[in-house]
Chains A and B, each alone.
Chain A
Amino acid sequence: MGLLIAGCTSSPTAPEPGIGTVTTGVYIVNEGNFTRNNSTLSLYLPDSNKVYPDIFAATNGRPLGDVANDMVLFGDRGYIVVNNSQTIEVISLLDQKSVGTFVVPGSKSPYKLAIVNSSKAYVTNLYDNSLTEFDPTSLQIIQERIVVGNNPEGIALANGKLYVCNSGLGADSTVTVVDPTEDLAVNTITVGRSPSEIAADANGDLVVKCDGSFNFNDPNRDTPGSLVLLDPRNDVVLSTVVLPLGVYGHPGRMALSSKGYGYFAGKSGVMRFDVSNGTITVNPTPFVTLSAYGLAIDDAGNRLYATDAKDYVQPGDVIIYGQNGQEITRFQAGIIPGTIVFKR
């Protein structure tokens, strides 16, 4: 596949065939279009500034699947959640070869993944109001349905427990706490409307990004999004920052650094927020004005990776920004680049 360079500085070049062993790299999960089976996995090698645009298919001789939504690295494996294929594709992080496929039974619409240890992994099932538990080593199913709230999306591990965002696609406002030793929901925490993403910060607290809700009959009655800080030790809300619709719109995706700050996509660009002393502070001035789709923070290099999904039908770009928001480089990924993970 040809590589188009929409270049600024130091544009990456297309690599020669044959990648060899990868020790460090950045994986970009490209969702592709619903029912077209055209998800791809791009691999960017910062050291050599090369991009492998569809590394999964190139290595394994078959497409990744339909609507790949998430990727989690664990040990020497990468676990890619392929939502509409109802699968979790597992690759070796050394050579990108498939080491197996976990098929989520039925059509539950697996969405986001959390791996607790080498024998327990949980995936949220967007339209089944459940988690499915499997062994990430043997890829055998452990429990098909652990009931959580409505339309579970983001999931994170903190303080030995799983925290599941129940968005209800705009109608729910809860986070379900699941004890992985019992595989039971043990608590429910009320947060802002439509929680969709959750991540643990350096202090062990959880930042929950809530999208707010849409009122399709009267947009003036939309509810705003919010950022909520949770204490997983006591399962309580520490603080909430409401994101006024007029300033931020309904927030898009979020990325959280281990260094006490994060970003989310707002209507005027990528917004930075800081987490300290149990509070979240949002800078109302955009960090960059890109209308970003996916976001990820490379803590090692202090870089922000943001994706531009463009028109959602042609390959999107990944743009790398420095600490001051300056663009360092950009490269083309696949269609709807959404999730970015770093192999170090």
Chain B
Amino acid sequence: MKRIALLTLVFLTVSRAQVSEPASDSTVAATGHAREFSLPEIVVSATRWGIDARHLPSSATVLSSVDLQKGSGTTLASALEGVPSLFVKSYGGPGAVSTTSIRGMGAEHTLVLIDGQRYNNIRDGQVDFGIFLLNGVDRVEILRGGYSSLYGSDALGGVINIVTKRPDGRGHVSAEASAGSYGMNGQALGAEFGLGDVGFRLAARRESGKGDFEFRFHNGTGSMLLRRSNGDFSINQLQAFADYSPSDDLKINLSNIYSSSDRGSPGAVLSPSTTSRARLSDDDLLSQLSVEWAIDPSLLLKVGSSYDYEARTYSDPGLNIAGDALESRYNSRTLLVTPHLRYVIAPAAKLTLGAELGHSIIWSNEVNDAVRDQRSVFLSTEHLFDIPHNFPYQISLFSSLRYDDFSDVVGEVSPKVGFNIGLLRSPNLHIRSSFGRSFHAPTFYDLYWKSGGNPKLHAERSTSFDAGLLLTVDVLGPLDLELNYFDIDTRDRIVWTPRADGLWSPKNLQRVKSAGLEVIAGWRLLSDRLQLHASYTHSKAKKVSRDGPNDLTADKQLIYLPLESASFSASLHFPRWSLNVVHSYTGFRYVTETNDPHFILPAFQKTDLNLLCTILAGSVSVRTKLEILNVFNSDYQVFPGFPMPLRTYALNLKLEY
């Protein structure tokens, strides 16, 4: 830990400087560059239309297609590890349920978008990244900070926008196979082709594994090597995309993603005899249709729409309730339409006006049948002033305002303002700040759970402030440094507590404050052959409300969230191969709300590496990837009782024609 912090400080003290011009703004989405976390980068989701990350009022990370390829693992959960200020909360090894926490907030406080359209499940407000395969993902944008003023509910900690791969216009086919430790294996087929003005991309992938990895069980006085049971998983995914562009002014995209998974649910290992026969199965069909029409050069219309059907079944034949084995079934579907219009008043002044209409429904044996209709409007502006001198040389101003109306909970108004000032061209220095309100509407679980849901809940509300600076200097190569301070004050946080009748029920109770510091550095050396990245986050997420005069949980760190985390990665590139190493550190975490030092999850460090080799033979490319995860056999848990795998290996072979 100290070693990484020291490295970051060394970066900050470098003073050698040279001009590094930022890329110009763009009103259309651009594909990712072959850089890791480095600036400048176009971020589509920050404004809904695309903007240079250097001009943003708050912090963002972009994982480009190359970054994703260089990473280890096959799911979004593994790809997101190491992203600054983002904590991946995994309940085990491959295939296990995994959610995220951004800036010390809960899993339900990260808004997840797929191609700009909301994807969070209406059931619990979360997305399981452990079964979200990277196949078909072109890039991932991670926005830190509150974004309800643009996207509505759930965007308290940040936004993850998953941008899918689109047909690139050249016909090709690919086949992929992988094998690894503990029965892991995967197969994938893909094809892209064009018919007239329509481009198609079809893909299928299957990932499975036994999940019977070894881990150390600690009983307090010693440890023993055990093997995980009932951790098998099988994930299948089918994708079909069609892009139709009859003219330069009109684009129509249709996508369908169907994923199905069946997993053992091994549960917490709390004794050597723990066994489980529980299973979790998920089906998800997501269909999206989007139309982009440049009505004239200054007027752009985009209509996004999505239909998402999700079904989840949790069954446990070992858990009898009144003579029947437990089986919980949830079905939900959400229909969303998001028309929005951008008016380019002048190159330096842009206005977006949009609406979002949604209809969600759930039916379940655990949750009362429920329907939610949503009607939202939003308005945002961007101003960019170029100033003809060197200090400052550029000012960007942002404002956005959104109103969300729901049929079953009170509506919310979410404003946000921000600025970004280019102070120096050389070295390139920007300062920025944003301030706004966000909210998280209660989920169907919170409102309608049969044995304790509370229909009187209202939204959790937060105010978020962040401020930071961006510095780019040339020290043997471009060195990007980013320093951010953030503060998220959340009121009326929903907490489940026992009622007088003994049942547990949620209430709008707590006030939680999450504040911290992020230090992010990226350095490209040797003509981009060597890329280094380091980040350090110190985040205090505390319950600040008091439930009584002697409330021992007040001013205490929230459970399971680390105060400190850091990562360091190095990528060495040559024309046909690359070596990628990621080392991460996660600080200790409290297990009790009173922060009892006797019950903590210890800090851990983990190192992953992979070797990627690509050979071209005529029109055929052969890509081989060897991964070693947890190289040094780190024995760790993200949640108590849920061991993570010791060292694992995987080999992946991909042929493309």
Please provide the chain A residues from 119 to 141 with a CB less than 8 Å away from any CB of chain B in the complex.
Answer: 127-129
Please give, as numbers and ranges, the residues of chain B lying within 8 Å of A267 by CB-CB distance.
500-501
The verdict on A127 contacting B550 (CB below 8 Å), with A57-B220, A84-B270 known, is no
Residue on B with the closest CB to A56?
B220
A221 to chain B, nearest CB (A): 13
User: At the interface with chain A, which of B272-280, B354-362, B456-464, B579-587?
Assistant: B272-280
Q: Which residue of A lies closest to B319 (CB)?
A: A127
- Name A313's contact: one of B274, B323, B592 (CB within 8 Å): B592
Measured CA separation A249–B502 after assembly (Å): 9
Tell me how far the C-beta of A181 lies from the nearest C-beta in chain B, rounded to whole angstroms: 27
Q: Are A252 and B641 in contact (CB under 8 A)?
A: no
Shortest Cβ distance from B560 into A: residue? A36
List B contacts of A106 (CB < 8 A): 273, 275, 318
A35 touches B501 (CB 8 A): no
The distance in angstroms between the C-alpha atoms of A35 and B591, with both chains bound, is 10
CB within 8 Å for A35 and B320 given contacts A216-B451, A267-B500: no
Chain A: interface residue count, which band? 35 or more
Say what secondary structure dominates the interface of chain B.
loop
Separation of A211 and B321 alpha carbons in the complex (Å): 16
A6 vs B552: C-alpha distance when bound (angstroms): 11
Q: A36 contacts which of B550, B551, B640 (Cβ < 8 Å)?
A: B640
Say yes or no: A129-B320 contact (C-beta < 8 A), given A35-B268, A38-B592, A66-B270.
yes
Contacts of A37 in B (CB 8 A): 270, 591, 599, 640-641
- Tell me whether A172 and B270 are in contact in the complex, defined as CB-CB below 8 angstroms, given that A33-B592, A62-B220 are known contacts: no
Q: How far is the CA of A244 from the CA of B398 in the complex (A)?
A: 61
Q: Which residue of B lies closest to A267 (CB)?
A: B500
A61 → B minimal CB distance (Å): 5
- Check A170–B322 contact: CB distance below 8 A: yes
User: Which residues in A have their C-beta under 8 angstroms from that of B598?
Assistant: 1, 54, 57, 63
Q: Which residues of A contact B321 (CB under 8 A)?
A: 127, 150-151, 168-169, 171
A214 within 8 Å of B by Cβ?
yes
Q: Which of B267, B323, B450, B498 is in CB contact (< 8 Å) with A312?
A: B498
Does A105 sit within 8 A of B, measured CB to CB? Answer: yes
Contacts of A168 in B (CB 8 A): 321-323
The CA of A171 and the CA of B641, in the complex, are separated in Å by: 31
CB of B596 closer than 8 Å to a CB of A: yes
Contacts of B591 in A (CB 8 A): 36-38
Chain B stretch 245-298: residues in CB contact (< 8 A) with chain A: 267-268, 270-276
Residue pair A107, B221 in contact (C-beta under 8 Å): no
Residues of A close to B272: CB separation below 8 A: 103
CB distance from A248 to the nearest CB of B (A): 10
Tell me if A314 counts as interface (CB < 8 A to partner B): yes
CA distance A36 to B637 in the complex (A): 12
* The one of A6, A150, A309, A313 that contacts B594, using a Cβ cutoff of 8 Å: A313
Interface residue? A87 (CB, 8 A): yes
Q: Which listed residue, A60, A84, A216, A291, touches B500 by the CB 8 Å rule?
A: A291
User: Is B221 within 8 A of A35, CB to CB?
Assistant: no
Provide the bound-state CA to CA distance between A103 and B598, in Å: 24
Shortest CB distance B269–A (Å): 10
Give the residues in chain A near B639, CB-CB below 8 Å.
Answer: 35
Asked whether any CB of chain A lies closer than 8 Å to the CB of B547, the reply is yes
Q: How far is the CA of A106 from the CA of B612 in the complex (A)?
A: 44
A315 CB–B CB distance under 8 Å: yes
Is B128 at the interface (CB under 8 A from chain A)?
no
Do A35 and B553 touch across chains, with their CB atoms under 8 A apart? Answer: no
Q: Please give the distance in Å from B278's CB to the nearest CB on chain A.
A: 9
Q: Which residues of B contact A129 (CB under 8 A)?
A: 320, 323
- Is B387 in contact with chain A by the CB < 8 A criterion? no
Q: How far is the CB of B330 from chain A (nearest CB, A)?
A: 16
Contact (Cβ within 8 A) B271 A314: no
- Return chain A residues, CB-CB under 8 Å to B270: 35, 37, 65-66, 84-86
Specify which of B273, B502, B550 is in contact with A86 (CB 8 Å cutoff).
B273
Chain B residues lying within 8 Å of A36, measured Cβ to Cβ, are 591-592, 599, 640
Inter-chain contacts of A66 with B (CB < 8 A): 268, 270, 641
The 4 A-B residue pairs with the shortest CB-CB distance, nearest first, are: A62-B220, A171-B322, A216-B450, A313-B593
Question: What are 8 pairs between A and B in contact, CB < 8 Å?
Answer: A38-B596, A57-B220, A87-B271, A105-B273, A216-B451, A291-B500, A313-B553, A335-B594
Task: Supply 20 further A-B pairs (C-beta < 8 A) apart from A37-B591, A150-B321, A171-B322.
Answer: A1-B596, A35-B641, A37-B641, A57-B598, A61-B220, A61-B221, A62-B219, A103-B271, A103-B272, A105-B273, A107-B273, A127-B318, A150-B320, A150-B322, A151-B322, A291-B500, A311-B553, A314-B593, A315-B552, A335-B594
Please report A residues at the B interface, Cβ cutoff 8 Å: 1, 4, 6, 33, 35-38, 54, 57, 60-63, 65-66, 84-87, 103-107, 109, 127-129, 150-151, 168-172, 211, 214, 216-217, 249-250, 252, 267, 291, 309-315, 335
